[in-house]
Structure 1
């Protein structure tokens, strides 16, 4: 019981820190990253989802990937956007994207979804910010149907981001292929693509059957 209580307290602290960081930035998020829209659409297309499928944008922010996900699955498909920060969901509404998806205020590592509920998960820039990347990958595998796809994306590569922050590449970065591939495998995913280019990071994995 005490260990469970400690987990809940740690999660509450993490939630507060995340919301403290993103809440004041939500109002100008779209303005800062307006040029990323086409790149998000190109990344979503790599998922290979078709009409009628069920897609989840985990850590959806202001919903930049939602138009592309909706276009992929069509009107008969389902799109969910999960975000921890209420201000970011409010930004999604302001941008006119609320009608594209069902929006959920929830923890990306404790999703309020049944096992196998979705066919594909899109995640942009989130895995570096969750407290336990391995646990997040396991949770995302839990809610994905066998044969479903996970796409981890960032509109800049690891080296570019490290240089921007004035630091070397971190060998412990969960997105480094030597770390990501075994972590995905352990969580029930099979990685079929990893691109750490100067202009983007993209990793695609398929849920083991």
Structure 2
């Protein structure tokens, strides 16, 4: 396991038990973010870096009982909390890495990634791996329940010019990885970059 992965697991593993209670008002924001994906009944969707699974009930509602929802995370403690919260009823929970997805080519209709981008070890490679498993025309939603400026302030920092989530930085990275950015919103109450799988 790489040092980056160990750091991510340690960071989230130590916070897993209190994660949902730390952000109790995010549920409606997740519902809106999932709604932007435009999922249909029967679709196949991956929640990449699903954490405690806060998006999973909304994804299940969108695709219906005949759809497929997969929640994948690198941190066992987060998946354990998702199961404790009963979110394993909404999705198949998988311990795994976005850099090496245990999924076939073009096997999904969409990917939802909440808070994912800033934790990617190699953004182009990892976003390309997400593109590999999504059919052409499928969608990717990179979401956060808080905008970049508000998130930086929460951590006592300022936004830097090299922030990957800035539109001018994110657009070319997505393009190199096989995605076309369709819309971009960076507001106090949410961040959402919606892309379509090219090719």
Output the TM-score relative to the length of structure 2: 0.97
Task: Give the C-alpha shift of residue 165 in structure 1.
Answer: 2.0
2-side partners of 1:102 and 1:37: how far apart? 20
Deviations 1:25-82 (A, max 9, x none): 1111111112101110111000001001000000000000000000110001000000
2-side partners of 1:205 and 1:87: how far apart? 30
- Greater C-alpha Rg: 1
1:24 and 2:24 matched? no
1:109 and 2:99 matched? yes
1-side partners of 2:175 and 2:65: how far apart? 33
Q: What is the RMSD computed on CA atoms of the aligned residues?
A: 1.0
**2:4 matched residue in structure 1:** 14
- Would you tell me which structure has more helix in proportion to its own residues? 1
1-side partners of 2:42 and 2:136: how far apart? 16
1:84 and 2:67 matched? no
2-side partners of 1:115 and 1:51: how far apart? 21
Indicate the SS of the match to 1:115: coil
1:119 and 2:109 matched? yes
**1:8 matched residue in structure 2:** none
1-side partners of 2:2 and 2:178: how far apart? 27
1:189 and 2:192 matched? no
Identify the range of structure 1 (12-21 vs 57-66) with the bigger mean alpha-carbon deviation: 12-21
Runs of at least 4 residues of structure 1 off by over 4 A? none
1-side partners of 2:61 and 2:23: how far apart? 21
Unmatched tracts of structure 2, length 5 or more? none
Task: Give the C-alpha shift of residue 167 in structure 1.
Answer: 2.0
1-side partners of 2:152 and 2:53: how far apart? 25
Aligned ranges 1:46-65 → 2 under 5 Å: 46-65=36-55
Alignment: residue pair count: 199
**2:194 matched residue in structure 1:** 204
1-side partners of 2:156 and 2:11: how far apart? 20
2-side partners of 1:129 and 1:97: how far apart? 23
2-side partners of 1:88 and 1:95: how far apart? 11
1-side partners of 2:158 and 2:2: how far apart? 31
**1:145 matched residue in structure 2:** 135
